[in-house]
Chains A and B, each alone.
Chain A
Amino acid sequence: MTSEHIVKSYDAELNHLNETILKMGGLAESQLAEAIKAIATRDPELAMETVRGDPRIDALEADIDHQAVRLLALRQPMARDLRNILAALKISSAIERIGDYAANVAKRAVTLSESPPVRPAGTIPRMGRLVQRMIKDVLDAYTEGDAEKAKAVWARDHEVDDIYNSLFRELLTYMMEDPRNIGPCTHLLFVAKNIERIGDHTTNMAEIIYFMVTGNTLLESRPKGEDASFAHPEPPQKDGGDGR
């Protein structure tokens, strides 16, 4: 924000709100990083530690709700300030969801570490890095009040969808090849789905930030890849047909 309020304590309260959002976002970002690391290194200890970290994010969400209600009631914010506070409320609930998904990824990392490794697990860190980068950029866009940066994150979500869709097909193939893969592959499928959902929430945050900065909603339609929801895999043929 360019200039300061005449009442300095108002600025202090808004800054505190924004700092809490950044702290919460940074925490969610590192929760996701740890959860993915736990999958890549098959480390149940790290995974459990990550699961135990989630309540800290929930506590920050409650803190942000409290700050926002207080600001709305006592400062009667207008224009950009009003949009800032609404954005903080919506972003904090998006980050809270991201934290939940990261914790779920960590839980599955515990189970995955107990079953034999399957190859598609190698794609998960790549997908995770992409989403982490998006979270980082969206938080930067929030701090800097940069609508174009937010829009760039928003336009990148289809890369996540693309990885998810190809991973979906790959996992199905592995499951069809050998029923013993079904357990770990199903967990990986949920992991991939969770990361894909984190990407969606990050995209929503980007939309909220765009509105916060410009006062306008992003109306154009987002670039989208193909949708795995419509995928229809054929089982392999027993007689050595072409289904492999």
Chain B
Amino acid sequence: MLDTMTATATGISNAILRAKNLDVFYGEKQALFSVGIDIPEREITALIGPSGCGKSTFLRCLNRMNDTIPSCTIRGTVEIGGHDIYARDVDVVELRRRVGMVFQKPNPFPKSIYDNVAYGPRIHGLAADKGELDEIVYSCLERTGLLGEVRDRLDAPGTSLSGGQQQRLCIARAIAVSPEVILMDEPCSALDPIATARVEELMEELRRNYTIVIVTHNMQQAARVSQHTAFFHLGTLVEWGATEQIFTSPSDERTQGYITGRYG
């Protein structure tokens, strides 16, 4: 089948992230079963599937967010640029700088708009002085389309913005530390259609410099924004491939059932 890759196939040339035989357990319960996927660099990969299928669990494996859950155990590997992120010597703070995250509900810090964006560069020591820090903050706000809207009130609290603006602020905060990958967990589910369109447009813009992995329940959104789509079902990666292929001629009956609105 043209362009499509089965869950077991490996090796696309421009993979930045590569998961192999990934099993995840929450206590006794297994949440992911031998997931293997390549995430291509500077493209948008959408993870879709019914609730509880493991897509968010998988997303959280990509920057070790699951480490914060004590009962969570992981087998298998996730590589970034060829290095296993679960290796003993990995600096998790540095990993999360390289692999940033945007959540479902906009969660700006209870700080000013400026400080929300400046926070990451400060703790990672990315700016030598105030001038450099200003430059980072302004350019991130500019790239997320917020600068024009908030230029006059950079000291106002981040929480004073509208929901869509808050989400773009969170994206600005994520890119302020120059990550390689941005993980987005249903970033638009709390936004209205106009704010959603702005975020989708922003994602398309960000794709030039960053790799994006997005979990979404909205299949039209997955179809609109992504170049690659992976379908999860009951903890397994059923099928992944070019988005166009998945949404026009999926190979697996379960994928077909899910995306056409039938029981799989």
Q: Could you list which residues of chain A lie within 8 angstroms of chain B, going by C-beta atoms?
A: 2-7, 10, 76-83, 214-216
Residues of chain B in range 246-264 having any CB-CB distance to chain A below 8 Å = 247-250, 253, 255-257, 259-263
B256 x A80 contact (CB < 8 A): yes
Give chain B residues whose Cβ lies under 8 Å from the Cβ of A78.
Answer: 219, 223, 247-248, 259-261
B259 x A79 contact (CB < 8 A): yes
Distance, CA A80 to CA B248, complexed state (A): 7
User: Across the A-B interface, how many residue pairs have beta carbons closer than 8 Å?
Assistant: 43
Distance, CA A52 to CA B209, complexed state (A): 64
B248 x A83 contact (CB < 8 A): yes
B249 x A77 contact (CB < 8 A): no
Considering the complex of A and B, which 5 residue pairs feature the smallest CB-CB distances, nearest first?
Answer: A215-B249, A78-B259, A3-B262, A81-B260, A5-B261
B247 x A4 contact (CB < 8 A): no
Distance, CA A129 to CA B261, complexed state (A): 42
Give chain B residues whose Cβ lies under 8 Å from the Cβ of A214.
Answer: 249
- Say how far A216's CB is from chain B's closest CB, in angstroms: 7
Residue B220 lies at the interface, judged by CB distance under 8 Å to chain A? yes
A-B contact pairs, 9 of them (CB 8 A): A4-B262, A5-B261, A6-B262, A78-B248, A78-B259, A78-B260, A79-B250, A82-B247, A83-B248
B261 x A79 contact (CB < 8 A): no
- Say how far A121's CB is from chain B's closest CB, in angstroms: 46
B248 x A79 contact (CB < 8 A): yes
Residues of chain B in range 221-247 having any CB-CB distance to chain A below 8 Å = 223, 247
A83 x B262 contact (CB < 8 A): no
Distance, CA A78 to CA B223, complexed state (A): 10
Residues of chain B in range 192-241 having any CB-CB distance to chain A below 8 Å = 219-220, 223
Give chain A residues whose Cβ lies under 8 Å from the Cβ of B255.
Answer: 79
Distance, CA A76 to CA B223, complexed state (A): 11
Q: Which residue of chain B is the closest to A2 with respect to CB atoms?
A: B253
Give chain A residues whose Cβ lies under 8 Å from the Cβ of B223.
Answer: 78
